[in-house]
Structure 1
Amino acid sequence: MNTLMEPLRLTSQLLPKALGDFIALSAIGAPILAVILEITAKARNKIFYDKLAKQIASMSLIMYVLFLGCAAGAATYFTRQFDWLTDWFINPSSPFIMVYITVGFTLAMLLPYTLLWKSMKKNKPAHILLGTCAALGGISTVHVVTMTMKVFFMQQAAAPVPTVPTLPFINHFLVLPGLAGLYLAGLYLIMSLSFAATIGGLYLVLRRNKDDFGRDYYKFSLPVISKWALIPTLAQLAAVTFIIIYLCGPTKELLLANNTTAICFGLSAVLTLLCCAIWIVTWKSATPMRHKIGLTLAPFFTIIAHATVMAGAMNLYLTM
């Protein structure tokens, strides 16, 4: 029993961060997914792709509102705990200014892309351009957040109370990150597509009565969204496994001997593979709406899996 308590304790502590990551990355990935589906609809001349793209775009706006709410709440909480953080959020030289710019740009493109879907129906190239700009804004946000984290943690390592660098904030983003930064940004991008499609499955299930496009539409759309959840998730699983093996290096026996870390990683893998099984069954099913319970549970399993893998990584780092 004691062996299980420590993984549960660490996972429960990291659940709020896992939920925040899920919301933020879903918000970033949803416009990318929406514009890919819209381009596919035009290329293949299939109206169902366009309807699905519209639903995912509408969902992305909801996710961005949730993301902004969570970010504002987290900023308020942490600035009350650490007064010096306030300067990082408001200082004109802070790299966080670039985060505000990319998020603001993404929202500025996403709002007309979502709200003018019907009125721009006959001007698809311009509408797709709006969606592409929103998607690129999301991708830029991934890069900007990765670089901001790098700057923040470098300053934190240099002093107990990290100060905002005196350089203009734009200077931090004119150089490519190192290999580790690029790999992390790539992982975030994969996760954004995975999380967006995962919550997209739940969104379709919840909207099936409100957006009643008929049985044939859901027979088409649920397998498509399941496939988009499955493939990035498998890529994410492979990438995380590689990172763990790489970080352990010659001390792989430490991973095997650490029960807490092994349980956390094992539980995360089981939950992730369970989600993959749900998506495969839905993808191949002739009646995909029958698997609505699995699609409803998949986002919750994904959040818990994310929390457990972070718990395992944190415990491994502390014991190395």
Structure 2
Amino acid sequence: MRMEDISALITPDVLLPALGLAALLLPGLIAVGAVFVAVLTAVTYRKSSRVFADKLAKQMSEFGMLVLGVWLLLVSARWGLWISEIWPVSGPLRRFYHLFFDIPGHVSMLAVLTSIITARAWRRHKKGSAVHFMLGGISCLTWMVALMLFITGWLESGRVEGMAQKMDPVTLPLLLMNPTAWLIWAQGLFLAMTLAGGAGLLFLVARRNKEDYGRDYYAWAARTCSGRALSSGVVQALWGVTTFIALSVPWADLALQGPSSWLATALAAVSGSSALAALLAFLVLSLLAWLSLIPLIRSQNPMRLKGLMLAHVVIVFLSLTVLAVTFHSLFDGRGLLF
């Protein structure tokens, strides 16, 4: 790891675009993750704590719709400023809007519709039923498809000079054969649940006076959201390491070498990667985020630890920013992210 790689993390040309990208991704990923957290909570605790689980699933689905509405408003406002020639956008953001009005955007709008229907079903019938699980499952599946389409479309558009062409459904099977897309997709799902679980803690604090379900419920809900954020956070961090190794090691060169030199070549590629410093910073921030959740999980009254909840969300946002820098370096600064 070189000193210039470390100093590159804090340069304005890298840090500011990464912060902007993280701010754009944060509400979108929270909205997606909230749907998964709601469904998993209702299913996991259906027998042991069904009453509490149903309430938390209802609140998380509503939280997801609230954040999604804010995110769509921000995206629309930014698009309006670009179209009005008030605030030009970068190349990567142009590709995002191109995909937003293409097949990925159409599928994401379908996912939004299914999420709204699921949230309304929880509001009308607060006890979990087969209908809730079916609607939630459809919503999760639709979001998974939309996320994959955005990722494959984004990677493909980075290879095309100028404005990318419309996505052809016939070529989608070929695009799905890209292992990089699947690596990013899997991490995106767990990252979304991590963000939703952590940010959901603040939503519980905000809703406590309006929806007074009792001290026992909110203590259970805070511990459950913290546990979901911790478990998903560990998985997505480990997956980030896996993605880093998969994209850093020259697998084609290894195929031409003998087995005895594979390890040395792989270690040299990993240690010499320009993204290693950013990855290590991401892991340190992830560790701090995990440590901030442990007191919440172990506390009998975690709702009193509001400062710790806020600190966790801030740390996770910073880790998302550094993760954006990591992927930017892994793609050799080809302008895929910023």
Counterpart pick for 1:140 among 140, 145, 159 = 145
The CA deviation at 1:163 is 3.8
The alignment yields a C-alpha RMSD, in angstroms, of 3.3
**Are 2:328 and 1:314 equivalent residues in the alignment?**
yes
Structure 1 residues 82 and 194 mapped into 2: Cα distance closer, same or farther (>3 Å)?
closer
Hey, what's the Cα distance between the residues in 1 that align with 2:19 and 2:32?
20
The CA deviation at 1:199 is 1.2
**Are 2:159 and 1:150 equivalent residues in the alignment?**
no
- Partner secondary structure for residue 116 of structure 1: helix
Hey, what's the Cα distance between the residues in 2 that align with 1:99 and 1:14?
23
Counterpart in the other structure of 1:124: 129
- Partner secondary structure for residue 124 of structure 2: coil
Q: Map of 1:127-276 to 2, 5 A cutoff? A: 127-154=132-159, 156=160, 159=161, 161-165=162-166, 169-175=168-174, 176-249=176-249, 250=265, 263-276=277-290
Number of positions where the alignment pairs a residue of Structure 1 with one of Structure 2: 310
Contact 1:191/1:232 (8 A) holds in 2: yes
Hey, what's the Cα distance between the residues in 1 that align with 2:330 and 2:173?
34
- Partner secondary structure for residue 163 of structure 2: coil
Structure 1 residues 287 and 184 mapped into 2: Cα distance closer, same or farther (>3 Å)?
same
Contact 1:30/1:193 (8 A) holds in 2: yes
The CA deviation at 1:74 is 4.3
- Partner secondary structure for residue 210 of structure 2: coil
- The alignment's TM-score, normalised by the length of structure 1, stands at 0.83
Counterpart in the other structure of 1:20: 24
Q: 1:209 is matched by which residue type in structure 2?
A: N
Counterpart pick for 1:108 among 107, 113, 125 = 113
Hey, what's the Cα distance between the residues in 2 that align with 1:83 and 1:190?
28
Q: 1:304 is matched by which residue type in structure 2?
A: L
Hey, what's the Cα distance between the residues in 2 that align with 1:190 and 1:17?
18
The CA deviation at 1:236 is 1.1
Counterpart in the other structure of 1:69: 73
1:202-249 deviation per Cα after TM superposition (whole angstroms, max 9, x unaligned): 211222222221111122111111110011111111111222233333
Farther-moved stretch of structure 1 (106-115 vs 224-233): 106-115
Q: 1:277 is matched by which residue type in structure 2?
A: L
**Are 2:319 and 1:305 equivalent residues in the alignment?**
yes
Q: 2:71 is matched by which residue type in structure 1?
A: F
The CA deviation at 1:139 is 1.1
Contact 2:61/2:119 (8 A) holds in 1: yes
The CA deviation at 1:49 is 0.6
1:247-283 deviation per Cα after TM superposition (whole angstroms, max 9, x unaligned): 333475576578x855543432222111101112211
Hey, what's the Cα distance between the residues in 2 that align with 1:236 and 1:123?
29
Structure 1 residues 162 and 236 mapped into 2: Cα distance closer, same or farther (>3 Å)?
same
Q: Map of 1:4-43 to 2, 5 A cutoff? A: 6-8=8-10, 9=12, 10-43=14-47
1:36-76 deviation per Cα after TM superposition (whole angstroms, max 9, x unaligned): 22233544462011111111001010121122123324444
Unpaired runs of at least 5, structure 1: none
Farther-moved stretch of structure 1 (291-300 vs 50-59): 291-300
Hey, what's the Cα distance between the residues in 1 that align with 2:268 and 2:90?
41
Hey, what's the Cα distance between the residues in 2 that align with 1:205 and 1:98?
37
Contact 1:87/1:164 (8 A) holds in 2: no
**Are 2:57 and 1:57 equivalent residues in the alignment?**
no
Contact 1:255/1:316 (8 A) holds in 2: no
The CA deviation at 1:88 is 8.7
Structure 1 residues 42 and 245 mapped into 2: Cα distance closer, same or farther (>3 Å)?
closer
Identity of aligned residues (%): 19
1:155-177 deviation per Cα after TM superposition (whole angstroms, max 9, x unaligned): x2xx3x23415xx6322434533
Hey, what's the Cα distance between the residues in 2 that align with 1:95 and 1:171?
19
- Partner secondary structure for residue 102 of structure 2: helix
Q: 2:103 is matched by which residue type in structure 1?
A: M
Farther-moved stretch of structure 1 (48-57 vs 208-217): 208-217
The CA deviation at 1:77 is 5.4
Counterpart in the other structure of 2:292: 278
